[in-house]
């Protein structure tokens, strides 16, 4: 038996119901596979205007919301009996770019779990989604990371 630690299951959460379903799926699989879970949350830093104090307050609001989301993820991990490690990614890039960049340098990962909002064909192609972009970029770059996409609306109400 190997002494190397088990590859973690990575899950990206944004606080939406579908991302919580993805986390619950990741926690269930982690418990079955005896693996830790790593949770990613991306805060996209944007300039609001010419006034630095507005930018600072927006950043503080986004960071406070991010901390609530990550604390909720840790609590859900505790309740499931699964070790959870959280990562806050602050970037000016899109959330999809930040996730793919993280995957590029993260080392061995069992797989990435993401939720989808369940948009229809037209809405998905007009609006796009973070999940779809991550899937496309991981495939295009040939990253050795399997993705598990959890459709929205699959969990208990």
- State residue 22's pLDDT score: 96
Q: List the pLDDT tens digit at each of the 157 positions of the chain.
A: 445 678 999 999 999 999 999 999 999 999 999 999 999 999 988 765 665 555 677 778 888 999 999 999 999 999 999 999 999 999 989 999 999 999 999 888 999 999 987 555 555 554 458 888 999 999 999 999 999 999 876 554 4
- Identify the structural domains of the chain with CATH numbers, from first to last: 9-151 (3.40.50.620)
pTM value?
0.84
- Determine the Cα–Cα distance for residues 10 and 91; give it in Å rounded to an integer: 19
Q: First-to-last CA distance in the chain?
A: 41
Tokens of 62: 């986004």
CA 89 to chain centre: 10
Number of CB atoms found within 10 A of residue 78's CB: 11
- State residue 11's pLDDT score: 97
- State residue 127's pLDDT score: 45
In sequence order, what are the residues at sequence separation of 6 or more whose Cβ sits closer than 8 angstroms to the Cβ of residue 92?
Answer: 44, 45, 46
- State residue 54's pLDDT score: 58
- State residue 75's pLDDT score: 97
Tokens of 72: 């909720």
- Determine the Cα–Cα distance for residues 125 and 152; give it in Å rounded to an integer: 17
- State residue 126's pLDDT score: 44
Angle at 99 between CA 96 and CA 100, to 5 degrees: 85
């Amino acid at each position: 038996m190997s002494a190397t630690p088990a590859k973690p299951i990575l899950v990206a959460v944004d606080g939406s119901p579908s991302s919580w379903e993805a986390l619950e799926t990741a926690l269930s699989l982690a418990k079955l596979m005896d693996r830790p879970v790593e949770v990613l949350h991306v805060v996209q830093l944007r300039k609001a205007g010419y006034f630095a104090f507005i930018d600072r307050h927006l950043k503080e609001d986004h960071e406070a919301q991010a901390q609530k989301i990550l604390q909720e993820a840790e609590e859900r991990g505790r309740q499931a009996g699964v070790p959870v490690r959280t990562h806050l990614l602050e970037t000016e890039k899109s959330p999809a770019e930040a996730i793919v960049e993280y995957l590029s340098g993260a080392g061995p990962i069992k797989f990435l779990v993401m939720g989808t909002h369940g948009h229809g064909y037209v809405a998905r192609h007009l609006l796009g989604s973070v999940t779809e972009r991550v899937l496309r970029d991981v495939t295009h770059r040939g990253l050795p990371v399997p993705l598990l996409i959890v459709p929205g609306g699959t969990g208990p109400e």
